[in-house]
């Protein structure tokens, strides 16, 4: 995380563990629906980048801590900006799925 970054960043594996054990958290996959269907972390909620406004339907409480992951084409840093515009404040970048070994969680 850069010194000027306001958004916390952790690994996807850390985010998986936190969201499994901590209430008031959610793991969000920002990739498109088709990619999500092929491979995703089981407890992840799909909120595609091209349809960010649907987050209110999936996570109605803007105080929820949201851990956001994507892939090399859909970076979490872009989603953070869009989620902030939707009123969500507690946002954590959880990296790209390609950088992590998540198959063990399936």
Q: Give bridge partners of residue 104 from the DSSP assignment.
A: none
Q: Which residues contact 29 (CB under 8 A, 6 or more apart)?
A: 36, 40, 41, 44, 45, 46, 47, 69, 70, 97
Tell me the pLDDT band of 98, cut-offs 50, 70 and 90. Answer: confident
Distance from C-alpha of 10 to C-alpha of 72, rounded to nearest angstrom: 16
Provide the pLDDT for residue 72.
85
Tell me the pLDDT band of 74, cut-offs 50, 70 and 90. Answer: confident
Average pLDDT, the chain: 88
C-alpha closest to that of 66 among 31, 25, 14 = 25
Is the confidence at residue 63, as pLDDT, over 90? yes
Please state the rounded mean pLDDT for residues 32-58: 94
Task: State if pTM tops 0.85.
Answer: yes
């Amino acid at each position: 995380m850069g010194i000027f970054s306001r958004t916390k960043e952790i690994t996807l594996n850390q985010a998986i563990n936190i969201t499994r054990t901590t209430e008031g958290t959610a793991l969000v996959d920002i990739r498109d629906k088709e990619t999500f269907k092929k491979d995703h972390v089981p407890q992840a909620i799909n909120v595609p980048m091209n349809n960010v406004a649907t987050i209110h339907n999936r996570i109605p409480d803007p105080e929820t801590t949201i851990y956001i992951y994507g892939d090399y084409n859909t970076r979490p840093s872009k989603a953070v900006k869009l989620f902030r515009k939707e009123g969500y404040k507690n946002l954590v970048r959880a990296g790209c799925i390609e950088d992590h070994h998540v198959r063990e969680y399936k």
